[in-house]
Structure 1
Amino acid sequence: MAMVCGYHARAPTLGDVLTIYAGLHGRCIVFTETKAQANEIALSSSIKDNCQALHGDIPQSQREVTLKAFKDGRFRCLVATDVAARGLHIDDVELVVQLSPPRDIDTYVHRVGRTGRANKKGIALMFCNRNDAPYLSAIEKKTGCKFQRVGVPQPEELLRATASAVLEDVMADDIPPNILNAFQDAAEQLIQSHGAVDAVCRCFCELSGFNEGFKVRSPLTGREGFRTYVLRYQATQIRTKGYIWGFLNRNFGEDVTAKISAVIKLADASGAAFDVADDVCPAFEEAYKQIPSRFTSSMTLEPVTSASQ
């Protein structure tokens, strides 16, 4: 898989990528280009509480301790450079993430080979930007594999994936009756207060860690605080992004257009996708409704609500 995501949005996105593609317990290896990147991810990313770094500056004795802990399941994500990961043979790695495209195709092949071992399924995902398209094509040509292009995980998709994983855990756990009885009074109180379904939903939220609101995130660029829209024309081929900018500048106020960015032409040239800052989205949508129908009857404007779009 290839996920277009701005570099500065990759570390905050890692946790969601791990949840979507490896569940709540699956093991993952994140490959970085430098030791500094490995340290940065291990210390300050969205997976910092459940990962360890592995690179050449770490003493061999500590590397061995880290590898054993990873194999034993004491943490679920190993952040490694290529040198440190050379020769690794770890079964049951469900996901390999490359923070950026490697310098050569052989390195790419070596990295993705860390998952799907012993005839088991695995997922390999690489963060990239739109300028990496020729490199992705070169990988496809040499390996014979076709990248599935995916967007940055969206809140609704993350909630569904987490709910499914939590449900699987709850259904599978064989909890002793005396432990269950210890929570019975609290459970009955919660049901009386909120009703059975709402009570269970609240428990799911607490178990999954989603007890606060989500920040919106652009599936186009991965930036928080932005929503993505797609503008399509029914009978017009768009040759340049300037055509789209002309439409936006003519029909939306300066306060709105100043917060529109990342305009890209669609592959079929039928329109464009772009990001709009969340705080002006209501004004943006209202302004579109005010455009005379003789101009909008041959076009559509839709928000992108899932990564698969």
Structure 2
Amino acid sequence: MPGKLLWGDIMELEAPLEESESQRKERQKSDRRKSRHHSESEERTETRENGVTDDLDAPKPKKAKMREKLNGDSKEGLRFSDEFSPSHKSRRKDLPNGDVDEYEKRSKHVSSSESSHKSSDKAEETLTREQKEGAFSNFSISEETIKLLKGRGVTYLFPIQVKTFGPVYEGKDLIAQARTGTGKTFSFAIPLIERLQRNQETIKKSRSPKVLVLAPTRELANQVAKDFKDITRKLSVACFYGGTSYQSQINQIRNGIDILVGTPGRIKDHLQSGRLDLSKLRHVVLDEVDQMLDLGFAEQVEDIIHESYKTDSEDNPQTLLFSATCPQWVYKVAKKYMKSRYEQVDLVGKMTQKAATTVEHLAIQCHWSQRPAVIGDVLQVYSGSEGRAIIFCETKKNVTEMAMNPHIKQNAQCLHGDIAQSQREITLKGFREGSFKVLVATNVAARGLDIPEVDLVIQSSPPQDVESYIHRSGRTGRAGRTGICVCFYQPRERGQLRYVEQKAGITFKRVGVPSTMDLVKSKSMDAIRSLASVSYAAVDFFRPSAQRLIEEKGAVDALAAALAHISGASSFEPRSLITSDKGFVTMALESPEEIQDVSCAWKELNRKLSSNAVSHVTRMCLLKGNMGVCFDVPTSESERLQAEWHDSDWILSVPAKLPEIEEYYDGNTSSNPRQRSGWSGGRSGRSGRSGGRSGGRSGRQSRQGSRSGSRQDGRRRSGNRNRSRSGGHKRNFD
């Protein structure tokens, strides 16, 4: 507002106007009301000659002031007040003089009800059942620890932490299982720290550890130690693992350790040398217990803790076993370390789905030779240039080749066992901090690592065991965030994929490779974001060239070409949505009614198209619900098929995404009955439905001759029945 209007100025403006006696009384009455309102609410309003009120700057509502004070941000308060004042003013201006008072009352009532409604919503949001149960006040947690937890962004305990705090704090043995990304480390770290700090003895130099935490990988051990250090300032926390200096660890032993975290190999070395004393242990934690008690680590674990455990003694250290996956054999093996009475917390239980519920599981069929290029497209569409992704490979060689593949446009780094420990730590730190966006790793990064904001996990092939899939996919969708896990597979790995579905309790969504439109959209968004980093000073240098380009090509075409070049998408080569093979287009043929099998589609194709056109059709699959088929044709033939197709009740189209197909057929019934051919539609007879002349016993996975274990219901086969008649490789899912 320019400035305050004085009452005298207003009266001078009103003087020339003639007003009736009734108008004058009404004006005076209104003035008295406004005066009272002015003293009560501190709103400064002035009256013009026509009886319409005009607000000056209204004071901030009380809630806005409180919010501003709490947030320390004046903009927050302004936004809050602006939400009410403009509409408040406009509504008042439309009211006659006598209705202003009534409007003020209604306005206050509405504002009050809105405020109380918002307050109740806010209270409801902050008082969810999970937050009520996990409130710090419900547990024996010191103010110092609470302050440190809040510094880590933890404002209440998660369900697994709620369930385990009591047993751990009370010194009971425990086996705990919960899905990945649910906060298992703090489940034992918080109560153990509180217990130690409550009973803290006089700090002595060279004191032996009271807590031992064993982890299967160096990276996980390092992360667990950091979690302990973040929430205590009174206890000494050390982390021992291979690839690091012995001397620094010896110095820590001499200075005294309260909590020791490490991998079995390095801790065993210190024990055998006599430098480390574990006879005073009170608490032993095996993180990722299913791996710690497996054949690779079981002997080392036994050698480390046998000094602290006595047979059938109730005075043994408290034993805590944690993992996202606990097969039955783990419980049997673990009993020799546990007291006769132990607690069991299982937040997975008999629930069908063992993997994280916040992760969407996708599967893409792709030949190994096409995999790097397709993975590059998947990275672009599902995480873009700014999202974080982890690619898991089976071997160290695969990891190195994938990270250096030119199809991976983002900056990618390797993580596997042959890399020096110092470099592994630098790599993990860089990935956490966002220095690079793609991490290519073996199972070294599969367990326990809590890397924030991983948008995408890619598994280059189905893992050999279900536990590995669960842990790998659990690197995304952590702490309530959503994520995507994409698993690549080949036709011979379908049975393995079904086994993962059955045991992990998930359902893979079969999808095709990212479409051209998906890639264009994603690359365009990245290119547009990159333009924001260009300074105005730099733009001025390119204005003459831009002007010439606009005159030659037109503004839209010139900008589109520039965006295409910036994104590196100067050309696109189509791929099959069914197999990811380059140079093929997937087409869908929809039937007006349900069909029995693909032979009906072949019949329609042979009736409407030339024999030459039909000969190029391959990899036919039945659509979900038996309402048509989809198939592949070479890119050069797709337009001809569409041109020849006419006068039919069947609809031929080129889908942007892979339609849902009947898994029962697995693409193996793609052959044209007239040609009696197999999978590829040629003469080889591979995977022919009935075998034909060349597709019988020698055909791979022939429908009648296969013993590969790919039953329709997805059940496993064992022993020699895993071999096909053609001598296919034996599969072992155990």
Q: Give the TM-score band, short-chain normalised.
A: 0.7 to 0.9
Q: Does 1:269 align with 2:641?
A: no
Residues 613 and 641 of structure 2 are in contact (CA less than 8 Å); yes or no, is this contact kept in structure 1? yes
How far apart are the structure 2 equivalents of 1:180 and 1:308? 45
**Are the structure 2 counterparts of residues 286 and 189 from structure 1 closer, same or farther at C-alpha, using a change threshold of 3 Å?**
closer
Aligned counterpart, 1:188: 547
How far apart are the structure 1 equivalents of 2:508 and 2:406? 26
How far apart are the structure 2 equivalents of 1:146 and 1:235? 28
Structure 1, 139-148 or 111-120: larger mean CA deviation = 139-148
Q: CA deviation at 1:203?
A: 2.3
How far apart are the structure 1 equivalents of 2:651 and 2:487? 32
Q: Does 1:10 align with 2:371?
A: yes
Q: Which amino acid aligns with 2:588?
A: V
Return the match for 1:103 from 428, 447, 464.
464
Residues 238 and 265 of structure 1 are in contact (CA less than 8 Å); yes or no, is this contact kept in structure 2? no
Q: CA deviation at 1:226?
A: 0.7
SS in structure 2 of the partner of residue 224 of structure 1: coil
Bigger fraction of residues in strand: 1
- Asked which structure has the greater CA Rg, the reply is 2
Q: CA deviation at 1:49?
A: 6.1
Aligned counterpart, 2:565: 206
RMSD: 2.9
Aligned counterpart, 2:583: 225
Q: Does 1:148 align with 2:509?
A: yes
Residues 457 and 472 of structure 2 are in contact (CA less than 8 Å); yes or no, is this contact kept in structure 1? yes
Residues 238 and 271 of structure 1 are in contact (CA less than 8 Å); yes or no, is this contact kept in structure 2? no
Q: Which amino acid aligns with 2:592?
A: Q
Structure 1, 193-202 or 225-234: larger mean CA deviation = 193-202
Question: Which stretches in structure 1 are left out of the alignment for 5+ residues?
Answer: none
Residues 391 and 441 of structure 2 are in contact (CA less than 8 Å); yes or no, is this contact kept in structure 1? yes
How far apart are the structure 1 equivalents of 2:504 and 2:634? 39
For each residue in 1:22-46, what CA deviation from the matched residue of structure 2 results, as whole angstroms up to 9, or x when unmatched?
Answer: 1222111011122232233223351
Q: CA deviation at 1:229?
A: 1.2
Residues 227 and 304 of structure 1 are in contact (CA less than 8 Å); yes or no, is this contact kept in structure 2? no
Aligned counterpart, 1:31: 392
Q: Which amino acid aligns with 1:2?
A: L
Residues 52 and 66 of structure 1 are in contact (CA less than 8 Å); yes or no, is this contact kept in structure 2? yes
Q: Does 1:216 align with 2:567?
A: no
Q: CA deviation at 1:266?
A: 1.6
How far apart are the structure 1 equivalents of 2:371 and 2:596? 30
Residues 261 and 276 of structure 1 are in contact (CA less than 8 Å); yes or no, is this contact kept in structure 2? yes
Structure 1, 147-156 or 23-32: larger mean CA deviation = 147-156
**Are the structure 2 counterparts of residues 182 and 45 from structure 1 closer, same or farther at C-alpha, using a change threshold of 3 Å?**
closer
Q: CA deviation at 1:279?
A: 1.4
Aligned counterpart, 1:305: 656
How far apart are the structure 1 equivalents of 2:406 and 2:496? 27
Q: CA deviation at 1:234?
A: 1.8
How far apart are the structure 2 equivalents of 1:231 and 1:95? 33
Q: How does 1:1-309 map to 2 (within 5 A)?
A: 1-7=361-367, 8-44=369-405, 46-47=407-408, 50-83=411-444, 85-129=446-490, 136=497, 139-140=500-501, 142-143=503-504, 145-171=506-532, 173=533, 175-210=534-569, 212-239=570-597, 241-249=598-606, 252-289=609-646, 293=647, 296-297=648-649, 299-307=650-658
How far apart are the structure 1 equivalents of 2:591 and 2:515? 26
Residues 594 and 625 of structure 2 are in contact (CA less than 8 Å); yes or no, is this contact kept in structure 1? no
Residues 410 and 438 of structure 2 are in contact (CA less than 8 Å); yes or no, is this contact kept in structure 1? no
**Are the structure 2 counterparts of residues 129 and 188 from structure 1 closer, same or farther at C-alpha, using a change threshold of 3 Å?**
same
Residues 157 and 306 of structure 1 are in contact (CA less than 8 Å); yes or no, is this contact kept in structure 2? no
Q: Which amino acid aligns with 1:194?
A: K
Q: CA deviation at 1:115?
A: 1.5
**Are the structure 2 counterparts of residues 60 and 246 from structure 1 closer, same or farther at C-alpha, using a change threshold of 3 Å?**
farther
Structure 1, 14-23 or 121-130: larger mean CA deviation = 121-130
SS in structure 1 of the partner of residue 381 of structure 2: helix
How far apart are the structure 2 equivalents of 1:238 and 1:41? 43
How far apart are the structure 2 equivalents of 1:166 and 1:48? 14
How far apart are the structure 2 equivalents of 1:217 and 1:16? 11
Residues 30 and 78 of structure 1 are in contact (CA less than 8 Å); yes or no, is this contact kept in structure 2? yes
SS in structure 1 of the partner of residue 404 of structure 2: helix
Q: CA deviation at 1:153?
A: 0.6
Residues 415 and 444 of structure 2 are in contact (CA less than 8 Å); yes or no, is this contact kept in structure 1? no
For each residue in 1:183-221, what CA deviation from the matched residue of structure 2 results, as whole angstroms up to 9, or x when unmatched?
Answer: 3333333333333323322221122111x2211112222
Q: Which amino acid aligns with 1:303?
A: V
Residues 98 and 125 of structure 1 are in contact (CA less than 8 Å); yes or no, is this contact kept in structure 2? yes
SS in structure 2 of the partner of residue 79 of structure 1: strand
How far apart are the structure 2 equivalents of 1:45 and 1:4? 21
| TM-score (norm. length: structure 2) | 0.37
Q: Percent identity?
A: 36
**Are the structure 2 counterparts of residues 204 and 146 from structure 1 closer, same or farther at C-alpha, using a change threshold of 3 Å?**
same
How far apart are the structure 2 equivalents of 1:281 and 1:55? 44
Aligned counterpart, 2:668: none
Q: CA deviation at 1:99?
A: 1.2
Q: CA deviation at 1:145?
A: 4.5
Residues 231 and 302 of structure 1 are in contact (CA less than 8 Å); yes or no, is this contact kept in structure 2? yes
Residues 14 and 45 of structure 1 are in contact (CA less than 8 Å); yes or no, is this contact kept in structure 2? no
Q: Which amino acid aligns with 2:618?
A: S
How far apart are the structure 2 equivalents of 1:253 and 1:131? 33
Residues 51 and 76 of structure 1 are in contact (CA less than 8 Å); yes or no, is this contact kept in structure 2? yes
**Are the structure 2 counterparts of residues 80 and 23 from structure 1 closer, same or farther at C-alpha, using a change threshold of 3 Å?**
same
SS in structure 2 of the partner of residue 120 of structure 1: coil
**Are the structure 2 counterparts of residues 120 and 233 from structure 1 closer, same or farther at C-alpha, using a change threshold of 3 Å?**
closer
